[in-house]
Amino acid sequence: MEHNACLKPSKDVEFQDVYYTVKERKHYIKVTGTRQILRGVSGSFRNGQLSAIMGPSGAGKSSLLNALSGLRTSDVKGHIKIERKGSCYITQEDNHQTLLTVEELMTLSCNLKLPHCKRNAEIITEILENLHLNHRRNVYAEKLSGGERKRLSIALELVANPKIFFLDEPTSGLDEVTAAQCIRLLSQLAKEGRTIVCTIHQPSATIFNYFDSIFVLANGQCVYQGQPGTVIPFLRHVHIECPKYYSPSDYIIELCDADEGKLIPVLSELTDNGKLIYAPQHHQQQQQLNGLNNTTTLPICQNLSKDFQQSVRTFFVEEPKRSRWQHFLSAGTNLSTDGTLIGGVTAFYEHLKTFTKLLDTEHEDTSSLHQFCVLFKMMLVRIMRARVALLIQFLHHVLTALCFGLIFLNLGNQGSRMFDHLKFCIGVIIIIAYTQVMVPILSYPMEIKIVRKETFNRWYKLTPYYMALNFSRLPLQIALNMIMLTIIYWMSGLPPQLWRFGLFASIGLMTSLIAEGMGLAIGMTFSITNGSAVGPLTIAPLMGLAVYGFDFAAQIPYAMNLLMKFSYIRVAVVALILTVFGFERPELECDEMYCHFGDPRVLLKFLDIEQLSMWYLFSLLTMLMLFYRVLMYLSLRRRCGT
């Protein structure tokens, strides 16, 4: 493609003795043992080639892809050579930012990745044309077909022209024709000088032959590494004949799938668990012409036929390079780091590409401020475009306020209805808290997948994203809460004092911000199913604390008093009661013979809150707000980490 304006040359991916071990747990808690998912596999994926990691279900394909790409680093050991900075990972589900068109998503990607590149429009058009998406540029991403969505995922990453593409099951969910088109496209991209590695479960014969190299995994071990066309001769070395008219890819996978622990170890030993690449002589001659041949001693295959020995070669000809990382390596610690070679030194030649000076230009990382501005704008656009959601939220706030206002119509000045006053204050806070907690719990788990993918592919950093998320939600939140609180305040007949209404609205807004922070923290941590249980479960004790002990306020034990400070609902309710009845509020009207709480000071004294200052309560609310926002940030980091 011509668009390579801000590009760098591609590199290979090499790995040696990679292990991935997970702890097995009983009831999610008790560790009962460990399980090796990857068992010391080695291998290489070359630049300019389309490579497939194949194998039966559960063989460890995704685990290997995740380990190589760096998506998973914990529990992975071994040596992996990869330039992380120039790689990208395309997930199986093509989740994109919703409510943005193809062109807007491409522009977003360009703005985040190539902020100083003057040719963004040109680049976008070129990529879209090459990926046959130009005619869909004004369509929302969620309206695209499966194949188009996959191409869009590739297009979005192509903007920064990564050298290495990792794709998890790129053909899953696609029909045969679309899957073949997708693989053809990947093959073409590889030929343009990229390293493309994808997992694939069981490709059709057509798709199988598009791959330049395949790496077959079974039970966490490599059972074959080489070209697709040489699977049959390879199997002959262990006296297995692929039936006529049978696809070799299907056959080797079925063999491994049905294996009862006999064949896999043999094949794995033949390939030295991925250290040996199988290439029969006529293939080798071709490689020799390319200067790739590097046959060395075959440590485990001495007793095999000469024919076999001449057909394999190893690329791991040296011990891992002694470097300043050596002490980490010898301790068995992984891993790849951006651009740093750790072990797996190759005997292969470096396939250098000739790039013009312009093509060599590396794009700088964008500043956090720039990322914040781009993301903030994008989030606002998305909020404004979610018309149905906006309408529902607007109606929800207006209707709730009207119902609430009707229930407590003109209550504000009635001295005989003390309990109703309390119910009013508690009700306002609970409505706000509950609404704001549940929305992010139900909506955020989908978003976190997109954020994880985009931050992993270095579209932006987490901090600017987090800031943009917080600030972009503010305007709508303020507007909706102001509408609701205004209706409630005036319908309930509270004193028509602007400053008192200001305080009333500020407490409502604070509650809304805290509840939203709590909802986001839960939404970022749990799935929708778990979150919708955790949300009410978390808010219920806070509500309980909010209504506790109003009738024996002076006798509330110290420990409970302390605990109540952690319930933002309680703190907000108290602040609201103070706002409504404090600040020298004149005596309320009494339509009975005697109104004990006609004088607001009596009520405040009865509730034991007359000494509390508004500053103190606002400080508590601010601290609780910060607590949940920090929790939310930590959840985000944890979910988007590796």
Ligand X SMILES: Nc1ncnc2c1ncn2[C@@H]1O[C@H](COP(=O)(O)OP(=O)(O)OP(=O)(O)O)[C@@H](O)[C@H]1O
Residue number with CB closer to ligand X (201 or 605): 201
3-state secondary structure (DSSP) of residue 20: strand
The two tokens of residue 406 are 């009707």
All residues at 6 or more sequence positions from 68 whose CB lies less than 8 Å from its CB, including other chains? 13, 15, 18, 80, 82, 166, 197, 336
CB 174 within 8 A of CB 147: yes
R_g (Cα) of the chain, nearest Å: 32
Among 37, 437, 572, 607, binds ligand X (CB under 6 A): 37
Query: Least CB distance from residue 150 to ligand X, whole Å?
Result: 17
- Hey, how many other C-beta atoms are within 10 angstroms of the C-beta on 504? 22
Q: Does 57 bind ligand X (CB under 6 A)?
A: yes
Residue number with CB closer to ligand X (22 or 560): 22
Residue number with CB closer to ligand X (37 or 509): 37
Q: In this chain, which stretch among 56-64, 207-215, 427-435, 502-510 interacts with ligand X, using CB under 6 A? A: 56-64
Site string for ligand X, 9-28 (x = CB under 6 A): -------------x------
The C-alpha atoms of residue 160 and residue 10 are separated, in whole angstroms, by: 12
Among 59, 264, 448, 569, binds ligand X (CB under 6 A): 59
- Give the amino acid at 53: I
Query: Least CB distance from residue 333 to ligand X, whole Å?
Result: 19
Among 63, 97, 271, 273, binds ligand X (CB under 6 A): 63
Q: In this chain, which stretch among 57-65, 225-233, 274-282, 455-463 interacts with ligand X, using CB under 6 A? A: 57-65
Q: In the window 615-634, what residues touch ligand X (CB under 6 A)?
A: none
Q: Which of 215, 156, 155, 159 is nearest to 185 (CA)?
A: 155
Q: In the window 193-212, what residues touch ligand X (CB under 6 A)?
A: 199, 201
Beta bridge partners of 30: 26
Q: Which of 302, 297, 296, 311 is nearest to 348 (CA)?
A: 296
508-514-519 Cα angle (round to 5): 120
Q: In this chain, which stretch among 51-59, 432-440, 464-472, 511-519 interacts with ligand X, using CB under 6 A? A: 51-59
Residue number with CB closer to ligand X (22 or 540): 22
Note the Cα 166 to chain centre separation in Å: 16
Residue number with CB closer to ligand X (141 or 174): 174
The C-alpha atoms of residue 427 and residue 425 are separated, in whole angstroms, by: 5
Query: Least CB distance from residue 238 to ligand X, whole Å?
Result: 22
The C-alpha atoms of residue 440 and residue 445 are separated, in whole angstroms, by: 8
Query: Least CB distance from residue 257 to ligand X, whole Å?
Result: 11
* Count of residues that bind ligand X according to CB under 6 A: 12
- Hey, how many other C-beta atoms are within 10 angstroms of the C-beta on 490? 14
Among 62, 294, 361, 532, binds ligand X (CB under 6 A): 62
CB 552 within 8 A of CB 471: no
Q: In this chain, which stretch among 61-69, 156-164, 450-458, 571-579 interacts with ligand X, using CB under 6 A? A: 61-69
Residue number with CB closer to ligand X (199 or 268): 199
With tokens 């939140």, the residue in question is 477
Q: In this chain, which stretch among 55-63, 254-262, 435-443, 559-567 interacts with ligand X, using CB under 6 A? A: 55-63
Question: What is the helix (H) or strand (E) element at residue 87, kind and residue range?
Answer: strand 87-90
Residue number with CB closer to ligand X (40 or 55): 55
Query: Least CB distance from residue 60 to ligand X, whole Å?
Result: 4
Give the interface with ligand X as residue ranges (CB under 6 A): 22, 37, 55, 57-63, 199, 201
